[in-house]
Structure 1
């Protein structure tokens, strides 16, 4: 399998991941009912976010954490988010950037969970 090396790869990763999120009985209600995500607006922001992290671009402008504060999320939500993210990466990519994507996702999840007062450490796969 290829590694993540291009904007097309970032788009594939983000699109496939959020397809899984939208089909997930635990996560879909948070995104679609609680947060009421406008996917046509949100997905391009996510492309920029992950492109910046994995490809070094600098298009993303935002503060993602504050948007999560009012949401009804628990450690179980973070665990599921990570499991789906890891599964998506593993289904489409292999290599050092793919590994970095999983490392960064785990780190982001841990920071968000900690800042939101969730107990425990996130462990996935």
Structure 2
């Protein structure tokens, strides 16, 4: 999908916050993912968002603020391939709505790798479904 020329790239901490807040608002209200995050994971959103700001700031801006590890916490959740695909679709849609440029493309590529790493049946070849 080609983004409108008026969108800027992900360049600043404020952009990371916009990306994370917008994406997790979608996740929180999603019929498929919302129950997983809110019920099964019993996620405490304020803390999770702070962690995600650090993660994406480290990943996209090189700030090295994220010092945790993410795989262990997610392995115990009852997630299937369709959950990972939905997560990726929502993430990509959020990026495309808010940003355009090399860092935006990098964010989508990183998210694809993350979704694939959490999916034990993945061939690491995720194709977003519109």
The TM-score bracket by the shorter chain reads over 0.9
Asked if structure 2 preserves the Cα contact closer than 8 Å seen for 1:78 and 1:122, the reply is no
1:4 maps to which of 4, 7, 10:
10
Aligned length in residues: 122
Question: How does the TM-score come out when normalised to structure 2?
Answer: 0.90
Return the alpha-carbon distance in structure 1 between the equivalents of residues 96 and 67 of structure 2. Answer: 28
Question: How does the TM-score come out when normalised to structure 1?
Answer: 0.94
Aligned residue in 2 for 1:105: 111
Moved over 6 A (4+): none
Q: CA deviation at 1:36?
A: 0.5
Aligned residue in 1 for 2:3: none
> Structure 2 regions of 5+ residues with no counterpart?
1-6
Structure 2 counterpart SS, 1:13 = helix
Aligned residue in 1 for 2:102: 96
Change (3 A) 1:119 1:101: closer
Change (3 A) 1:119 1:52: closer
Task: Let me know the Cα RMSD of the aligned residues.
Answer: 1.0
> Structure 1 regions of 5+ residues with no counterpart?
none
Structure 2 counterpart SS, 1:122 = coil
User: More helix by proportion, 1 or 2?
Assistant: 1
Q: CA deviation at 1:119?
A: 4.8
